[in-house]
Amino acid sequence: MFRAYGIIGLLMLAFAQINFILRIEPFAQWYFPIIWFGYIFFIDALVYKLRGHSLIYNRPKTFIFLLILSAVVWWMFEAIGFVLSNWYYTGLEGFGGRTAAFIFATVSFSTVIPAVFETYYLLRTIHLFDHVELKKKHRITKRFLHTMTILGLIFLLLPLIAPLYFYPLIWLAFFFLIDPFNYIHKQPSIIKHLKDRKLVIPVSLFAAGIICGFLWEFWNFHAIPQWHYNIPFVDFFRIFEMPILGYLGYGPFAWELYAMYYFIVGLKRHNKVK
């Protein structure tokens, strides 16, 4: 059965795309969250149709938690972005004030993690990467975990100290910093799959990040409030607003979100994403 909210999501997607041309307000100004919630609702309903259970239908509390976590996490990245100066926004003046612009930004940011996770669930549901495995197991030692954590700390600090040269490291920092902690405390982690050889989760997450990254850039390109990039050294061959090499950051970004989620789950003992 295809859930009704999936049809609503499909209609939201269609309306948002048509409104590219019509520019009916206030919907044109709120285009980004409308299209992303439409995407999330549609993909979740599709996953339910194919799998028999889904995030929104079966775990609505977890979905709401992901919305909140997503907004908090991306506001954190906005604070980091203030130092890096790699992206900036235009078109926010249409909201008529900082409060309305803040609400718009927060609602938009709340879609980031749910979008990546829903895309990940869809890829898992269609079994696209089920047979991707490492040829041999890798031994996970304390030295490896400590080295990875130290690298994560370095990757976090260097972009803040010298953003011009080290800004790409921020898209690996939290994964390197947090994933070892999750592994040690028996939470789901990417590191675990170096040991069990099964790469379906890491590869599905990476692909979900790339897919969402492409859609973020595609749907941002003609939006009224939109972001732009200032990326030193690699600012060439843009696809929409993003230089082509920038798309490589979306895969590790999905790993970061996965690690962050399970880190919070481990602290709060929240229901796990399976």
Distance CA 262, CA 243 (A): 31
CB-CB contact of 243 with 234 (8 Å): yes
At residue 269, the pLDDT reads 62
- DSSP secondary structure letter of residue 270: P
**Residue type at 232 in one-letter notation:** P
Residues 11-64: pLDDT tens digits?
Answer: 999 999 999 888 899 999 999 999 999 999 999 999 999 999 999 999 999 999
Task: Return the closest-CA partner of residue 212 out of 46, 63, 43, 18.
Answer: 43
Mean pLDDT along residues 122-147: 90
3-state secondary structure of 2: coil
- DSSP secondary structure letter of residue 246: G
- DSSP secondary structure letter of residue 133: B
Residues 84-104: pLDDT tens digits?
Answer: 999 999 999 888 888 999 999
The pTM score is 0.94
Spell out the residues 6+ positions from residue 161 whose beta carbon is closer than 8 angstroms to its own: none
Angle between helices 250-268 and 112-125 (to 10 degrees): 100
Band (258; pLDDT cuts 50, 70, 90)? very high
Please say if the pLDDT value at position 255 is more than 70.
yes
Band (270; pLDDT cuts 50, 70, 90)? very low
For the chain, what are the domain ranges? 4-135+199-257
Distance CA 83, CA 86 (A): 9
Higher-confidence position of 115 and 268: 115
Pairing of strands 242-243, 87-90: unpaired
